[in-house]
Amino acid sequence: MAIASINPANGQLLRSFEPLSADAVKQKIDLAEEALRRYANIPLHHRALCMRKLASLLEEETEDLALTITREMGKPLRAARAEILKCATVCRYYADNAAPILASEAIPTDANHSYIRWDPLGIVLAVMPWNFPFWQVFRFLAPALMAGNVGLLKHASNVPQCAIAIESLVRRAGFPRGTFQALLIEASQVESVIADARIAAVTVTGSEPAGRAVAAQAGWLIKKSVLELGGSDPFLVLPSADLELAVETAVAARCVNSGQSCIAAKRFIVHTSIYDEFERRFVAGMESMRVGDPMKEDTDLGPLATRAILNELESQVKRTVEAGARVLTGGVRMLGIGNYFEPTVLTHVPRSCPVYFEELFGPVAMLFRASDLDHALQLANDTPFGLGASAWTRDPLEQQRLVRELQCGSVFLNAMVASDPRLPFGGIKHSGYGRELSAAGMREFLNAKTVVIATPAADHDPA
């Protein structure tokens, strides 16, 4: 089956590619193995020069790269530009900070000298999603390459041109041939790649089923894995919150990337004393979002990335309504060409409905009324996911409880959940394990090697 690039705004086939054969995949891994031997001897400062060049290329070619994103997966052009520029920031972050992160750490012991050094693991396979087709890759690529690893990318099958563009950018930035390669393969071929003895580790950003499959195989083969999976992030609003700012941010947090983000707020839990006013303003805000051609500068929401995603979201909403939920606005797919779904707000979603525990990957919000802070925390944690949470209160005691008791990888107080190169990113529970970004993300694919020197080799301690 061909790997097809299809414009989700109009259904037009852009390009198609034949998946690599087993022999071709082996040749790619051979090249990665050869590159790893050479790349290990390249000084860190030279890697940093290449990484800064990569950042410059992203900035210089933002418009063309953003157009590729928009055509392949429907992201509004403004957001696509911002995604490319964010990739440049993560490149510069690791170019500037890799040296202190990778520096050996002396540890006082009874030995003459002991320390921890950080060594790259080797070839790392990245299985990446379509919703942020550059950013998701670069938040793996930048730390992995700066640490001395080499990368293989199995990108989502609907964004092959993004995958090819990223490989080209890395090569043109000066990284050696084979240091980073895109594998245009089908999902069924991933198992054989992981099984290759030369693959040291694997990282997955994507759905829960994909994470389970890869983690199971990696565990069986005793290979390191990092999973960043789905989320059903709570957005809690308590009486002391700045209600106007909370509502404005809530609409943006639900509609980011047309609702197709793992850290988009999906469940809005509002204290009963302000619930009615929040609901009224939130529904109005969702209705004001401009849905349409992602190429237009004033578009807020573009199409969903594929017809399958549109069908699944429509099915989830229908099942929720059949279970007793009430639609306050939206609730249906938009007629005409393209994978468009109306901005939707649901309330009275019963806990007995399976969708209560699922991730809604599109512009659909669920509203819940909380009687007090205890009830709000109970609702927020009543999910199999644990990625991020946004909580709105100006009460310092409430803030302390929220930070302590919310079960997730990140808590943002009076702000929207977002990723930042300087901060660890990842989740708990069914949202996965391990971290990306910051020093923690770089060290996921490093060997923390303990070195103990009982007696000095000469008259002085080694440098």
Indicate which residues carry an active-site annotation. Answer: 228, 262
Judging by beta carbons within 10 Å of its beta carbon (0-12, 13-18, 19+), is residue 232 exposed, middle or buried? Answer: buried
**List of E strands, 206-358:** 224-228, 233-237, 265-271, 326-329, 344-347
What distances in angstroms separate CA 78 from CA 65, 297, 365, 461, one per listed residue? Answer: 12, 6, 23, 56
Q: Which tokens is 263 given?
A: 């850290």
Nearest residue to 385 via CA among 361, 368, 414: 361
Query: β-pairing, 265-271 with 364-370?
Result: parallel
Q: Where are the alpha helices (DSSP H) in 267-354?
A: 272-287, 307-322
Question: What are the φ and ψ backbone dihedral angles of 248, each rounded to 5 degrees?
Answer: -60, -45
Contacts of 204-212 with CB under 8 Å at 24 or more apart are: 204/126, 204/127, 204/228, 204/229, 204/432, 205/127, 205/128, 205/129, 205/136, 205/140, 205/229, 205/262, 206/127, 206/128, 206/129, 206/156, 207/129, 208/430, 210/127, 211/432
Q: Which tokens is 244 given?
A: 């106007």
Q: CA-based angle 176:181:186, to the nearest 5?
A: 170
How far is residue 32's CA from residue 15's CA, in Å, rounded to a whole number? 27
3-class DSSP assignment, residue 428:
strand
Residues in the chain: 463
Three-state secondary structure string covering 111-141: CCEEEEEEEECCEEEEECCCCCCCHHHHHHH
> Within 10 Å of residue 297's Cβ, how many Cβ atoms?
7
Q: Which residue matches tokens 């808590």?
A: 411
How many helices and strands in the chain, by DSSP H and E?
A: 14, 20
Judging by beta carbons within 10 Å of its beta carbon (0-12, 13-18, 19+), is residue 208 exposed, middle or buried? Answer: middle
